[in-house]
Amino acid sequence: MKALKKIALAAMVTASLGAVSSSALADDPGRIVYSPTTAIEMTAGKVQVAIDALTAGTEAETVSKLIKDASDATKEINASDSVFRASTKANNMIKSARNHVKEGATQQAEQELRSAHQAILDLKKIL
Categorize the per-residue pLDDT at 118 as very low, low, confident or very high, splitting at 50, 70 and 90.
very high
Assess if residue 62 is contained within a domain: yes
Cα 76 from Cα 12, distance rounded (Å): 39
pLDDT at 16: 74
Assess if residue 8 is contained within a domain: no
Per-residue pLDDT of 17-45, as tens digits, reads: 766 555 555 556 667 788 999 999 999 99
Quote the domain boundaries for residue 54: 36-126
Cα 121 from Cα 41, distance rounded (Å): 8
CATH number of the domain to which 75 belongs? 1.20.120
Assess if residue 87 is contained within a domain: yes
Assess if residue 64 is contained within a domain: yes
Burial 64-87 (b: 16+ CB within 10 A, else e): bebbeebbebbebbebeeebeebb
How many distinct structural domains can be found in the chain? 1
Assess if residue 110 is contained within a domain: yes
In the chain the first and final C-alpha atoms are separated, in Å, by 58
Assess if residue 10 is contained within a domain: no
Assess if residue 103 is contained within a domain: yes
